[in-house]
Chain A
Amino acid sequence: MRRRFSKVPRGVRRLFRLPLTRERIVRDLDEEMRTHLAMRVDDLRAAGVSEDDANAEARRRFGDHDAFRDYANRRAAKIARRAGIRASLSAWWQDVHFANRQFRRAPAFTALAVLTLALGIGANAAIFSVVHRLLLDPLPYPDGNRIVMLAATRGERMDSPSAATVRAIRARTHSLEAVAAASVQATMVQTDDDQDTVYAVATPNYLKMLGVAPALGRMFTQTEARDGARVAVISYGRWQREFSGRARAIGSTVEINYLQAKDSERRRYTVVGVAPPSMALPMAPAAFNHNLHDAKPGVWLPLDLDGLNGAFPPNSYARLRPGVSVEQATKEIQGIVASSPELGAKRPTIKLMRAQDLLDGSEARMIEVLFAAVGVLLLISCANVANLLMSRAWTRRREFAVRAALGAGRSRLARQVLTESVLLAVAGGLLGIAVAWVTLRVIIALRPPALANLDGVHVETTVLLWSAAISVLTGILFGTLPALFAARGAVADVLRSETRGGSGGLATRRVRSALIVFEIALSLVLLVGAGLLVRSYIAMQRIPLGFEPRGMVSFDLIFNPSTSRDLSVRTALRNEIVDRLRAVPGVTDAAIGILPAAGLGDVTTLSTDPDPTGATRSVPEFSTIFAGSNYFRVAGIRLTEGRVPDSLAVPAQPQVPREVVINQALATRFWPDGSALNAHMHEQQDDPRSRREYIVVGVAEDVHVPGASRLARAAVLYQTPRFLSFIVRTATPDAPLVPALRAAMTSVQPAPFVQTTTIGEAFLRDSLAPTRFAMALLVAFAAVALTLATVGLYGVISYGVMQRTREIGVRVALGADPTAVARLVIGSGLRLVIMGVGIGAAGSLVATRALSGMLFGVSDGDPTTFGGITLVVTAVSLLASYVPARRALRIDPAEALRAD
């Protein structure tokens, strides 16, 4: 059998990418079968069979024709499909390979693009993680948004439901799981050498309700709680402090002053576990107003809900079952209470409140502003990369034109550009993850104390997916724009004219200029925002506080339970403590009262007595503080009018008004037209018998603490058995004196317990922290934004110079003045800058309104900030055009004309 092979060598088909289509495969198979049959017929004829018989025999020998045709079609489809996949895979791989080569050829471009993207994406992912935690799931517990608090409401009053009520709910509910209770016990306090610790009790399922596990050891068991076993779980902080985080903490004992109504008893508890750092009392609403709501218990003791019948029920919490809404659960629980006659006739209405809604929302606005700022940063980096890719596409027009001329389809070229963009985006995204990680660490390091639950934040998986999606989407977006322009160029035009370097396509240049204007405008907005925050931070530090926190310490104490309830005894005890504080070396003076602007004191409704026309004014949320007569002097608060009350004694007859000092804010609010002195006011109470009458004898200057509550205040100098707070002014630095001061206060009999210690200076620093935090981040964003915009502008201008090298060369050769050349270049930049600054300034006027709540001592349209920032942006932008302008001046005409 001799034969000749067809002349197409092996592999050529693949080399030329000749399509292996389905039709072709079927055709080949058909041909093969026809040849086969023909050869069979020939063979039979040669053996002497008649033509008809030979045909029939050949067909018989072949088998089932139709079945084979089906088989052939199926096979062809399969082969074609495989070939198609292989071809697109290899084309894609080729694209990737080619892109990689392009990147290596232009390392500066690649680095710039990847870095720009990484900054935008990374900062975004970090901030998003923070926002996610603070706004969407602010409690540091798994599914924290399912944790609810049970509240008993009677009219306006809101309280913890009784243990019996909680037990009834626990027994019958289907919408709640892990009904738990916990509370801080003010009557159980231990005096350590330096620090008193607040103790808390919790039911054994409290940790389960929070959805967290002990850091070490275990939680109490139900049996231990029922039997009143002397076991304890210590807080994570205490574990770190006293045991340096070692396992020997388990089995150790803690000693507790267990304070009964009449005397105290020291009890020893065995430590069985260490609480996780996140174990805390989910905050109670302000209405529950016991001063301990933000206390951090150092030791947890077991609480048995079944054996509880006290008048002061603990706070009760539960978890909503998955898929159950607060409304559904509330309805069910109200039904349970309504159908439980054993709870008595005066049953309260039970409400459920999401624990996360009880959080302080004051940081939310700041986070929103940061989120917006970081979004702007991402926009700027997108614009910058788009710009970079477009200028690359323009530079490579010739390359594309050549490839098009060699037969590459437009879609093929566009795909190439797209591949490059997506690769850049992916690289930027990967690096962005690293940037996100670092940014998050920095944010956590800078966070104000109010954002303590940020400590557990990490770049979450959802956030990573989200930023991955952003990077791919931006890649596609950046890719299509330049690809559109790349594919639009008419091949012949490019090859003919662009070889001699014209000045770039008009459309491309317009889009790129628009992008630059957009970038400059956005950076200006960010910078103005940052500038306003910086200015208000400076203003906050400069404004008169109205008092002197430096050199001041304040203490809040709790009376020993064995202290007599008699007012005169308590007054004598207070005065004795003040005397002992004064006797401590280094102390200038001491007074009864709370740290100005810290805490709320009593919040009540205060109204003026009717004026001659019968009208009254009232303040619904009004804070009164109880203070000694030397309070204003010690605190450094100036009286603008009047005097300090003569006597602290409560008048014998309730209708005789007490003498009070009010602050300027309240005076202006109640008596805007005249003097407040000798005006009468009263405190409104539900019970008319407890109505209190006041007469204003003095007006004090307002106390401003940035970030602290701005309630109108009055210092009401009256005697009360309840409060025990002192302020101390020291001549020396105050912190080292604290142990001596505490010793002095607890040396009286019966010894009170120190609950909180506040150093004035630290208090001031903490109150400035949220603003400082927002400011630092916004300044960083704004700086990055300006850098990106400047780099972008520099790119556009220097690119313009490069494209016009020949034109400039001609001008210089024809004797153009160098300054005219420089003006030409800088002018083209200046036009963009002016437009960007104009748009940005207008945008800032709108955007900074969102900031107004965070500003202090500066208006949101502050002309100094606007003017200064505009100048900075213009100057930096001009610098970005100046560098290319200098390069233009150095152009050698001879060389420029020779160059391609």
Chain B
Amino acid sequence: MSRDANNLLHGTLDLLVLKAVAGEPMHGFGISKWIEQRTRNELEIVDSALYKSLHRLEDAGAIDAEWGLTENNRRARYYSLTARGRQMLRVEVATWKRYVTAVSAVIEPA
């Protein structure tokens, strides 16, 4: 199943991005690649939507960005989670889990 990430709710994409940068600072392409690998290519993110999500999170103070160099010596912006972002991630994950449980309870008869 391949789904256009534009159809993903903003909140969902933001959650994925937060999770992606929770480990170590990552550049945009790295995040995109990371999500693909983790979802085993089930979700394909539209890159422009990813950057908008990054900007949104940056403006909200959830992530920080800095210029760095890739292993191929390319200049890229690396995004990392701030303390505030870490807290936001916890809340979002909990919300998402409650949401999934609720929806599952409806569509999967007990």
State the Cβ distance, A720 to closest chain B Cβ, in Å.
Answer: 96
Verify if A3 is at the interface (C-beta below 8 Å from B). Answer: yes
Are B44 and A61 in contact, CB atoms less than 8 angstroms apart?
A: yes
Q: Which residue of B lies closest to A71 (CB)?
A: B52
B48 proximity list for chain A (CB < 8 A)? 62-65, 67-68, 71
Minimal Cβ-Cβ distance residue in A for B64: A10
What is the CA–CA distance of A62 and B66 in the complex, to the nearest angstrom?
22
- Tell me, yes or no, whether A75 is within 8 Å of chain B by CB: yes
Query: Could you mark each residue 3-38 of chain B with 1 if its beta carbon is under 8 Å from any beta carbon of chain A, else 0?
Result: 000100000000000000000111111101100000
CA distance A36 to B50 in the complex (A): 11
User: In the complex, A67 Cα to B55 Cα: how many Å?
Assistant: 15
Asked whether B47 lies within 8 Å of A39 as measured between CB atoms, the reply is no
For the complex formed, measure the closest distance between the CB of B37 and the CB atoms of chain A, giving whole angstroms: 11
Closest to B45 in A: A61
Chain B residues with CB under 8 Å of A35's CB are 27, 29, 70, 74-76
- Least Cβ–Cβ distance between A528 and chain B, in angstroms: 69
- Could you tell me the distance in whole angstroms from the C-beta of B24 to the nearest C-beta in chain A? 7
Contact check, A3 vs B66: say whether CB atoms are below 8 A apart. no
**A68 contacts which chain B residues (CB < 8 A)?**
48, 51
Q: Which of B33, B47, B69 contacts A62 (CB 8 A)?
A: B47
Question: Are A63 and B71 in contact, with the CB atoms below 8 A?
Answer: no
Is A3 within 8 A of B75, CB to CB? no
Query: Given A5-B66, A5-B68, A36–B49 Cβ distance below 8 Å?
Result: no
- Residue A6 lies at the interface, judged by CB distance under 8 Å to chain B: yes
Contacts of B49 in A (CB 8 A): 63
> Are A3's CB and B46's CB within 8 A?
no
Point out the residue from B46, B52, B77 that lies within 8 Å of A32, measured CB to CB. B77
Cβ–Cβ contact B70 & A39, under 8 A: yes
A38 within 8 Å of B (CB atoms): yes
Give chain B nearest CB distance to A36 CB in angstroms.
5
- Identify which of B26, B44, B51, B66 contacts A1 (C-beta below 8 A): B26
Cα–Cα, bound, A295→B76 (Å): 92
- Does A892 touch B at the CB level, under 8 Å? no
Cβ of A683 within 8 Å of any chain B Cβ, yes or no, is no
Given the complex of chains A and B, what is the CA–CA distance between A773 and B69 in angstroms? 84
Contact partner of A4 (CB less than 8 A), chosen from B24, B44, B68, is B68
Residues of B within 8 A of A101 (CB): none
Answer whether A36 and B67 are a contact pair too, CB < 8 Å, given A1-B30, A31-B75, A42-B72: no
How many contacts A-B (CB < 8 Å)? Answer: 74
- Residues in A517-566 with C-beta less than 8 Å from chain B: none
A67 to B76, CA, bound (A): 22
CB distance from A61 to the nearest CB of B (A): 6
Complexed CA–CA distance, A28 and B68 (Å): 13
How many angstroms from the CA of A64 to the CA of B51 in the assembled complex? 12
Residue of A nearest to B4 (CB): A63
B71 interface neighbour in A2, A64, A67, Cβ under 8 Å: A2
Chain B residues with Cβ below 8 Å from A10 are 66
Is A53 interfacial (CB 8 A cutoff)? no
Decide if B29 touches A63 in the complex (CB within 8 Å).
Answer: no
In the complex, what residues of B have CB within 8 A of residue A62's CB? 46-48
Q: Which A residues lie within 8 Å of B25 (CB)?
A: 3
The residues of A that contact B77 with a CB separation of less than 8 Å are 28, 32
- A36 & B46 in contact (Cβ 8 Å cutoff): no
Chain A residues numbered 230-264 whose CB sits less than 8 Å from any CB in chain B: none
Q: What 0/1 readout, one digit per residue, does chain A (51-87) give for beta carbons within 8 Å of chain B?
A: 0000000000111110110010001000000000000
What's the least CB distance linking A706 to chain B, in Å? Answer: 78
Given contacts A4-B68, A5-B68, contact A38 B47 (CB under 8 A): no
The answer to the question of A268 belonging to the interface, with a C-beta cut-off of 8 Å to chain B, is no
Chain B residue numbers with a CB within 8 Å of A33 are 51
Closest to B74 in A: A35
| CB proximity of B5 to chain A, nearest CB, Å | 9
Interface string of A841-878 (1 = CB under 8 A from B): 00000000000000000000000000000000000000
A692 to B12, CA, bound (A): 111
Shortest distance between the CB of B49 and any CB in chain A (Å): 6
Q: Looking at the assembled complex, report how far the CB atom of A382 sits from the nearest CB atom of chain B, in whole angstroms.
A: 48
List chain B residues, Cβ under 8 A from A4: 68-69
A1/B47 in contact, CB under 8 A: no
Q: Name the A residues within 8 Å of B33 (CB-CB).
A: 43
CB <8 Å contact, A36 and B78: no
Kindly provide the distance from the CB of A4 to the nearest chain B CB, expressed in whole angstroms.
5
Query: B69: which A residues are within 8 A, CB to CB?
Result: 3-6
Chain A proximity of B14: nearest CB distance (Å): 17
Chain B residues contacting A3 (CB-CB under 8 Å) are 25, 68-71, 76, 78
- Nearest CB in chain B to that of A6: its residue: B67
Interface assignment of A40: CB less than 8 Å from any CB of chain B: yes
Residues of A within 8 A of B71 (CB): 1-3
State in angstroms the CA–CA spacing of A32 and B55 once bound together.
Answer: 13
In the assembled complex, 19 residue pairs joining A and B whose CB atoms fall closer than 8 Å, in A order, are A3-B25, A3-B78, A5-B78, A6-B67, A10-B66, A28-B77, A32-B76, A33-B51, A35-B75, A36-B27, A36-B28, A36-B47, A39-B70, A39-B74, A39-B76, A61-B47, A63-B47, A63-B49, A75-B55
Add 18 more A-B contacts to A35-B75, A35-B76 (CB < 8 A): A1-B24, A1-B70, A1-B71, A3-B70, A5-B68, A5-B69, A5-B78, A6-B68, A32-B77, A35-B29, A36-B27, A36-B47, A38-B74, A39-B70, A40-B29, A40-B47, A62-B48, A63-B48
Q: Which 3 A-B pairs have the closest CB atoms?
A: A63-B48, A39-B29, A63-B46
Which B positions have Cβ atoms within 8 angstroms of A? 6, 24-30, 32-33, 44, 46-49, 51-52, 55, 66-72, 74-78
